[in-house]
Amino acid sequence: MKAKQALAFLSLFVLQVPAPMVGFGQPQHLSDYIRPFVGTQGEGNTYPGPSAPFGMIQLGPDTDRDLWDTASGYEYSDTSIMGFTLTHLTGTGIPDLGDFLFMPQLGEPKLVVGTKENPDAGYRARYSHDQESASVGYYKVKLLNNNVTVELTAGERAGMMRFTFPQSDSASIMTDLQHFLSGKRFKLIWSHVRVEDKATITGFHLVNGWAKERYLYFAARYSRPFDHYRIMSNGQEVKYDSYKTYRFRSRNEAAGTNLQFLAEYKTRPNEAILVKVAVSAVSAANALQNLDSEIQPQDWDFEKVVRSTRDKWDRELARIEVEGSQWDKETFYTGMYHAFLAPNLYEDVTGEYRGLDSNIHQAKGFKNYAVFSLWDTFRATHPLFALIQSQRDSDMINSLLAHYDQSADHLLPLWSLQGNETWCMIGYHAVPVIVDGYLKGVKGFDKQRAYQAIKTTAMNPDYDGVTAYARLGWVPCDQENESVSKTLEYAFDDYCVAQMAKALGKSDDYTYFRGRAGSYKNVFDPSTSQVRGRDAQGNWRTPFDPHFYGEGTTGDFTEGTPTQYSFYNPQDVPAMIALMGGKEKFVKQLDALFDYKEPLKPGVAEDI
Amino acid sequence: MKAKQALAFLSLFVLQVPAPMVGFGQPQHLSDYIRPFVGTQGEGNTYPGPSAPFGMIQLGPDTDRDLWDTASGYEYSDTSIMGFTLTHLTGTGIPDLGDFLFMPQLGEPKLVVGTKENPDAGYRARYSHDQESASVGYYKVKLLNNNVTVELTAGERAGMMRFTFPQSDSASIMTDLQHFLSGKRFKLIWSHVRVEDKATITGFHLVNGWAKERYLYFAARYSRPFDHYRIMSNGQEVKYDSYKTYRFRSRNEAAGTNLQFLAEYKTRPNEAILVKVAVSAVSAANALQNLDSEIQPQDWDFEKVVRSTRDKWDRELARIEVEGSQWDKETFYTGMYHAFLAPNLYEDVTGEYRGLDSNIHQAKGFKNYAVFSLWDTFRATHPLFALIQSQRDSDMINSLLAHYDQSADHLLPLWSLQGNETWCMIGYHAVPVIVDGYLKGVKGFDKQRAYQAIKTTAMNPDYDGVTAYARLGWVPCDQENESVSKTLEYAFDDYCVAQMAKALGKSDDYTYFRGRAGSYKNVFDPSTSQVRGRDAQGNWRTPFDPHFYGEGTTGDFTEGTPTQYSFYNPQDVPAMIALMGGKEKFVKQLDALFDYKEPLKPGVAEDI
């Protein structure tokens, strides 16, 4: 039975009961198979909050902002929540985003977050997984210290929060502009908050994070005008008191590095106050426009946003039908969900976005995407997109090319993050993404322009030893770190350049890059039957340990060992088998890789 | 003899000699009467560098960035120059601007500025007034430590620098993005520099200065491609050295708080290298566009820019013909020059500018101006503009109204500085500017919209005790500082609101504001025949000293004494005379004011 038939069959049963918000019953929708908590414990670094497919906004709870092991902000084993922020990365190894924290409070609002050990020292709130749930487009948690229920949903560029308060004379919703996922070493550079009217604020911060210069604006509209409001700066209310000081004159806006906004209310029992939010990398005005164009100013229908996002996911997941058990389908569609969370839409409803050059650009003829973790995604994710997301693949390729046009270094993205190049990981893997799309027939981008970009990137004179690699045939290990991994991955990327050169009839280029694509042999040491660091004079790295795990500034390998990387020559497996001495020896060596049990020997951690 | 006739007569002589670049001979042009050094010593706080009338860019030498007494950056008695920056305020009491310092050097470039006592400790250069000159649109100085001659000129949004080097293997032009006129207490928040091509850079900084959040971008094109270039961050070259660190990967751009760009050359004897520059508050792209649209990319004609700016000044100065001696004319036209330096054009060639709300706005139907020092200019400068600069007065009124529309506080500008409100000084003196323009027949702005803005401003519930003033008839001295000066100046502004209300047939408003306009009597104490602080209960400030100089958070007066402010009721002089006991007593009291010789007793300095 195909998945579609199965669902039709199942629907006979589930149609008789209300559609489950959190669907552990029989699914009515494919998206009910999504389990947002998958990957939130350990280093999966996913987030449980709502997000539209490839959406620009990802509302969610943050439990930690300092740890690299909690790069998405949420760690399932944490027992308290710092607050609810508007943006999140999924699955990365380094934290960033987590912009603009919202937190409901009762009593005199706390302005500092507190600690996991002592959440009551700040606005951090205890919670229990028993009173927490997440399903497609929806997240809910009850904060145990004040009995406020928080619900979140998200559309493409705008989201909604519903705070259900107990009766209180001193309820508040705080926005902390200082918060972001800092990984301890990153820094908030500046922020600004502004009261637009009695139920609307906008704000901004500039973050020197993993993305070294990231501008983000937000807009928030409240379902009820503030009874009272305050802007706090460094713990003090921002107000004009001329009798004491001239320091501040406006109570309606402030700039600085430690700002909170407090929307204050007297609430009835179980009163729900909703906050609609949107972001923009361009301006506060654009954030407001993103918000109002997606959720009309008078529209406060929380469930409508949930349904709309669920429908979007149903359409995306319907691209593949699978058979199997409930567990199989949950596994599959949750994986598909994770595959379709990023890259993220990165343009306003106006088509504007802040580019790599910090200028505001207009995406013409395509939708601009950001957050390209290419070293992670060139192998499988983008080839999948080329097959079943060809319009988005085309948009993404155009986004890569726009980045190239904006690059002071004349490079396609390596690991790009919202108008920034993080320079993370190795290779120039935008090349296989583009070439794969082109060869699979993805339309909507200029092939000659694309070829120019991939060739120029592969010939960059400054980037990561490419010049020496082009000259010698390998990246010399005495000049460049992770030299063997770079050699092998450049060679694969060059194979891709060659394929596109061939398809475009550029035979000289084909010959040249086909030559570079054969570089595997140059770092393969027959005496050990392993790939091995090699210096500019051609000498092998000595001593040599086939299980030394390379990472960072001293190793010859990138998050791997010689034993593992010896099997990296996907563009010419027969040549690799031949170098290893034929099929039998190859199989034996491959078995040895899988059978290897010793602990890895760590290299030096990457210094971002 | 009228000035025009005089010039025609004089031209008989001067036409026979070359037009003097620095015109201490017989003037051929009215602008030759301009003496740019006037006001550069002491607290005049003018600058000697070139500027077009009301121009957006003001190139000039900075000799100090820390002192409030050197708010324009240049103090004639200083003996060394820090460098040449692109923007300057004229005549203010607080420093700001001085953005993007350029400095030619020989040898390994210094990256820190050095001190006045020891300029050689940094890039600061000694100079002599013997080898310095300035005339309209032109400034020249020889740097004595390296024999580089620096010449500057400026158009409306773009300027040009000419550096004439001796022969050198290591000549450089440094751009320091950290520099601005900080007055010691202000802070650079962030900066960015980017190599656009081998002869072009762009950059940006965000300054928390007198203007609390000021964004400025620049673009610079060099007449010769760099032989070599470097970006320095915290004293280190920004480059990729993967073998040691991942910290930087691009040599073509960097962000941070201590950045310098070095354009490096091997120069021939007396080789001139020119740098064209422009600024924008919107973006680097707009700065480039401002530059290229004003001085075409292939155009390197320095003298053409000087001539163009001189012609602009000749047209402006020709609005008034004067008779008198050379000295009289120099005095008059230099005064007129200073009057026409600010407010400054504050929009890009695209019409875009960064508004008070930090959003990018498009000036539609007017040119946007910034830098409104209204407490200083409402009395004489703007009334002059209404008479002889009516188009610019109209543009300025529209600029004030745009600021009002963007104000989170629903206020017209008080002391606005390029997308910021500095909240400096007292009153709401945009009101008399608008009303004066309206009553003098200045066209091109919406009178009903203007009236709404002046009335709303005069009724602001938060601003500087206006609510108490409206209720009591005076600003109470126990609730508000500088309460008497505020009462008197509000009353004058209210008189102006009343006049416009009357002209628009709003009789209720006329009556109301005419009432407030009579507030002088409420702070006039008959027992001392002086204006005097009065608390909310109506009690007079005791003890009372008629010569206590008020300023800041404790005094009842604003940069003045009771004796002086007792004569401030310009809207009803007869009433003031009557309160003082008739003409005879009035004249006697006025004489006493002018005869007063005692030193002023200082109050508390304003805390910005």
B92-136 per-position pLDDT tens digit: 999 999 999 999 999 999 999 999 999 999 999 999 999 999 999
Chosen for mutation from B286, B358, B412, B482 (greatest number of chain A CBs closer than 10 Å) is B358
What are the distances in angstroms from CA A120 to CA A103, A112, A114, A163, B333? Answer: 14, 10, 6, 20, 69
How far apart CA A373 and CA A342 sit, in angstroms, is 9
- The CB density around residue A269, as the number of other CB atoms within 10 Å, is 9
Rounded Cα distance between A272 and A301, Å, is 12
Cβ distance of A284 and B359 shorter than 8 Å? yes
Residue B247 has pLDDT above 70, yes or no: no
Say whether B357 and A284 touch across the interface (CB within 8 A). yes
R_g over Cα of chain A:
26
How many Å apart are CA B282 and CA B286, to the nearest integer? Answer: 6
Rounded average pLDDT over B413-431: 96
Of B189, B242, B552, the CB nearest to A190: B189
Whether the predicted pLDDT of B25 surpasses 70: no
- Residues A166-184: pLDDT tens digits? 999 999 999 999 999 999 9
Question: Between the CA of residue B549 and those of B478, B483, B523, B543, what are the distances in Å?
Answer: 18, 13, 17, 14
Residues 6+ apart with CB under 8 A from B144: B125, B126, B127, B128, B131
Mean pLDDT of B425-432: 96
Q: What is the pLDDT of residue B567?
A: 98
First CA to last CA distance, chain B: 50
Q: Give the residue with greater pLDDT, B596 vs B499.
A: B499
What pLDDT score does B243 carry?
67
A584 to chain B, closest Cα gap in Å: 38
Is residue B606 very low, low, confident or very high in pLDDT (cuts 50, 70, 90)? very low
Instruction: Please give the residue of chain B at the shortest CA–CA distance from A282.
Output: B359
Residue A197, SS3 per DSSP: strand
pLDDT tens per residue, range A330-364: 999 999 999 999 999 999 999 999 999 999 999 99
Question: pLDDT (tens digit, 9 = 90+) per residue, B375-385?
Answer: 999 999 999 99
Mean pLDDT over A397-412 rounds to: 98
pLDDT tens digits for B529-578?
999 999 999 999 999 999 988 766 668 999 999 999 999 999 999 999 99
Residue B603 tokens, joined: 């109050």
Q: What percent of chain A has pLDDT over 70?
A: 92
CB contact under 8 A, B359 and A283: yes
| Per-residue model confidence as pLDDT tens digits over A436-479 | 999 999 999 999 999 999 999 999 999 999 999 999 999 999 99
Please give the pLDDT value at position A242.
67
Contact A561, A481 (CB under 8 A): no
Of the pLDDT bands very low, low, confident and very high (cuts 50, 70, 90), residue A1 is: very low
pLDDT, tens digit (0-9, with 9 covering 90-100), for A290-336? 999 999 999 999 999 999 999 999 999 999 999 999 999 999 999 99
What's the pLDDT at A16? 32
Could you tell me if B330 and B142 are in contact, meaning their C-beta atoms sit under 8 angstroms apart? no
Segment among B4-8, B80-84, B276-280 with least mean pLDDT = B4-8
Q: Which of A359, A408, A553 lies closest to B246 in CB terms?
A: A553
Q: Residue B427's pLDDT is what? A: 96
CA–CA min distance A454, chain B (Å)? 18
* Cβ–Cβ gap B212/A255 under 8 Å: yes
The distance of A534 to chain B (nearest Cα, Å) reads 14
Residue A458 to chain B, least CA–CA distance (Å): 16
Q: Does residue B28 have a pLDDT over 90? A: no
Longest dimension (CA), chain A: 89
Confidence of residue A58 (pLDDT cuts 50, 70, 90): very high
- As a whole number of angstroms, the distance between CA B373 and CA B69 comes to 17
Task: Give the separation between CA B215 and CA A204, rounded to whole angstroms.
Answer: 14
SS3 of residue A485 by DSSP: helix
Query: In the predicted model, what is the mean pLDDT of chain B?
Result: 93
Question: Which of B120, B138, B140 has its CA nearest to residue B130?
Answer: B140
Give the pLDDT confidence score for residue A240 in this predicted structure. Answer: 76
CA neighbours closer than 13 Å in the CB half-sphere of residue B221: 19
Is pLDDT of B291 > 90?
yes
Residue written as token pair 């910090």: A358
CB contact under 8 A, B208 and A255: yes
Is the Cβ–Cβ distance between B112 and B123 less than 8 Å? yes
* pLDDT one-digit tens code per residue, A508-529: 999 999 999 999 999 999 999 9
Q: Report the residue of chain B nearest A192, measured CA to CA.
A: B213
Within 13 Å of residue A475, how many CA atoms lie on the same side as its CB?
A: 25
Q: How many residues does chain A have?
A: 608
> What is the pLDDT averaged over residues B502-513?
98
pLDDT higher at B241 or A167: A167
> What is the count of residue pairs from A and B with beta carbons less than 8 Å apart?
124
Interchain CB distance below 8 Å, B409 and A252: yes
Which residue spans within A198-252 are E strands per DSSP?
A: 200-208, 214-222, 228-233, 236-237
Number of H helices, E strands in chain A: 16, 26
> What amino acid is encoded at A236 in this protein?
Q
Q: What confidence score (pLDDT) does residue A566 get?
A: 97
* A275-279, B202-206, B253-257, B602-606: range with lowest mean pLDDT: B602-606
**pLDDT at position A608, please?**
42
Chain B nearest-CA distance from A424, in A, is 9
Which pLDDT score, from 0 to 100, does residue B8 have? 38
Q: Which of A569-578, B30-39, B232-241 has the lowest mean pLDDT?
A: B232-241
Model pLDDT for residues B477-496, shown as the tens digit of each residue: 999 999 999 999 999 999 99
Q: According to the model, what pLDDT value does residue B239 have?
A: 84
- Across the interface, whether the CB atoms of B357 and A194 are under 8 A apart is answered yes
Kindly state the percentage of chain B with pLDDT values over 70: 92
- pTM comes to 0.93
Q: What is the mean pLDDT of residues B30-44?
A: 96
Q: What is the pLDDT of residue A244?
A: 62
Whole-angstrom Cα distance, residue A104 to residue A171? 7
CB contact under 8 A, A247 and B607: yes
In angstroms, the CA A119 to CA A97 distance is 22
Task: Confirm if B231 and B259 have CB atoms less than 8 A apart.
Answer: yes
What pLDDT does A195 receive? 98
One-character DSSP codes across B9-30: HHHHHHTTSPPPSS--SS-SSG
Q: How far is CA B94 from the centre of its chain?
A: 10
Span B187-203, pLDDT tens digits: 999 999 999 999 999 99
Q: How far apart are CA B575 and CA A137, in angstroms?
A: 71
Nearest chain A residue to B406 by CA distance is A196
Confidence band, pLDDT 50/70/90 cuts, at residue A275: very high
Phi, psi of B568 (to 5 degrees): -100, 85
